[in-house]
Amino acid sequence: MPDPKRILILTADAGFGHRSAANAIAAALEELYQDQCRVDIVNPYDDRRVPFFLRDTQNDYDTMVREMPDLYRFGYDASDATVPHAIMESALTVLLYEVMSDLLQSYHPDAIITTYPVYQAPLVSIFTVRRTYIPLITVVTDLVSVHRIWFNKNVDTCLVPTQFARDLALAYGLPESKVQITGIPVHPDIVRNKSAKAELRRQLGWQADMLTILAVGSRRVERLTETLRVLNHFGQPMQFAVVAGKDEELYRQAQAIDWHVPHYIYEYITNMPDLLHASDAIICKAGGLILTESLASGLPIMLVDILPGQEIGNAEYVVNGGAADLAETPVDALEVLYHWMMDGARLLKERASNSARLGKPSAAYRTAELAWKATELGPLNRRGKRIAGRPGLVELLSRNKVPLKERPGRKRRHEQPIH
């Protein structure tokens, strides 16, 4: 039996979306290819050699977007320009080159998937310096407002969630052949879950035949508690499931509400697909992950929070697509729910239909198939070939005292075209 193909998935923990997409792809690969495939998920930022100011961007993300939104928006917009973007990629190459190089030597991947954008430039630099190439697939985890740093012309394939994102990729210079619309990967359990809502609710210990609203929060979601307090007095039979997303304060606040309807409060869960399929609608912020999961589950969406940067585009996408309504205040939320339930819940059903239309629940499987195909092409040996930009890159790394030593790895295949 041949050795299993090795696929390395690179991710980060700035928010939940990047890691969740990585887990979804890994689950799809393991389901489709089983023993033929070995999958490793790695966060390069876990390496202590990564400068603290990069590592801490993961921990400080919540603080920045919530407490300094204008500064976050300014940094996001400013770095999306051509010159700052080029400077950023050069800096990331210098700062991450050694860590990324050692990862490749440790895992010897046949293909690489990244669900976080900053790793592309260092990886391409390693390929250039070493005159080798490993097929590289980028999975974009923002729906519409996608930062320029996601789009690197030297990757094999850039997988985007929407036509809007594809148009951006082409505008930033990626060839059409490298850009595919797949959606953001969601866990295969969302696809596999075929149980009826009533049965799932019984399994979860909820009321089986009652309008059910799922509310998902975290440290980055404001106004959720106030919204729940108002909807608690809506006056129509319904039940709420509230997930605090590891936010202990939100968890305590939700428990402290003087509830007049059945309610189920969770600090953290591992069975989100079950909760999504058991619900009739969801209240959340405009994060790429939760919106993608909601669309994949065909849920009407009530948006109670939008963070600056990419979430503005996310919100516009689902609202303009007829799957969501924006509730900027708790009173707005009451109005949205009232409109949803008028005329036999006509609007609620319309929102659900539009959500299902926008959803791409099989994105993880499509990504897995493309990654498997990529393993059959590489790695490639390009030693002895002249590679544009290599001398300047070697000079940049040497000037910044970045080690360029190359350790022995597995025998590489000879050069052949990548399609």
Strands 281-285 and 5-10: unpaired
Band (pLDDT 50/70/90 cuts) for residue 160 is very high
- Whether 348 and 369 map to the same domain: the answer is no
180 assigned to some structural domain: yes
Band (pLDDT 50/70/90 cuts) for residue 418 is very low
Mean pLDDT of 203-211: 95
Q: In which domain, by residue range, is 54 found? A: 5-186+362-414
Does position 307 have pLDDT exceeding 50, yes or no? Answer: yes
- Whether 13 and 154 map to the same domain: the answer is yes
377 assigned to some structural domain: yes
- Whether 205 and 270 map to the same domain: the answer is yes
- Whether 125 and 138 map to the same domain: the answer is yes
318 assigned to some structural domain: yes
Nearest residue to 181 (alpha-carbon basis) of 202, 157, 204, 160: 160
- Whether 170 and 198 map to the same domain: the answer is no
**116 is written with which tokens?**
């976080």
Band (pLDDT 50/70/90 cuts) for residue 212 is very high
Q: Note the pLDDT of residue 411.
A: 43
Q: Note the pLDDT of residue 85.
A: 55
Distances in Å between the Cα of 213 and the Cα atoms of 2, 106, 292, 330 are: 49, 46, 17, 15
Q: Note the pLDDT of residue 415.
A: 41
Mean pLDDT of 19-46: 95
Q: How many domains does the chain have?
A: 2
- Whether 95 and 168 map to the same domain: the answer is yes
Domain boundary, last residue among 358, 373, 404: 358
287 assigned to some structural domain: yes
Nearest residue to 184 (alpha-carbon basis) of 23, 5, 12, 13: 23
419 assigned to some structural domain: no
Q: Note the pLDDT of residue 84.
A: 53
- Whether 408 and 284 map to the same domain: the answer is no
Does position 131 have pLDDT exceeding 70, yes or no? Answer: yes
- Whether 256 and 350 map to the same domain: the answer is yes
Band (pLDDT 50/70/90 cuts) for residue 222 is confident
Band (pLDDT 50/70/90 cuts) for residue 183 is very high
- Whether 275 and 159 map to the same domain: the answer is no
Tens-place pLDDT, residues 51-94: 877 776 655 555 545 554 554 454 445 445 554 557 777 788 88
Output the domain CATH number for residue 208.
3.40.50.2000
Domain boundary, last residue among 358, 374, 405: 358
Q: Note the pLDDT of residue 249.
A: 92
- Whether 221 and 310 map to the same domain: the answer is yes
Band (pLDDT 50/70/90 cuts) for residue 416 is very low
Band (pLDDT 50/70/90 cuts) for residue 296 is very high
- Whether 182 and 193 map to the same domain: the answer is no
Q: Note the pLDDT of residue 246.
A: 86
Place of tokens 């790895």: 409
- Whether 366 and 352 map to the same domain: the answer is no
Tens-place pLDDT, residues 346-360: 999 999 999 999 999
pTM of the full structure: 0.84
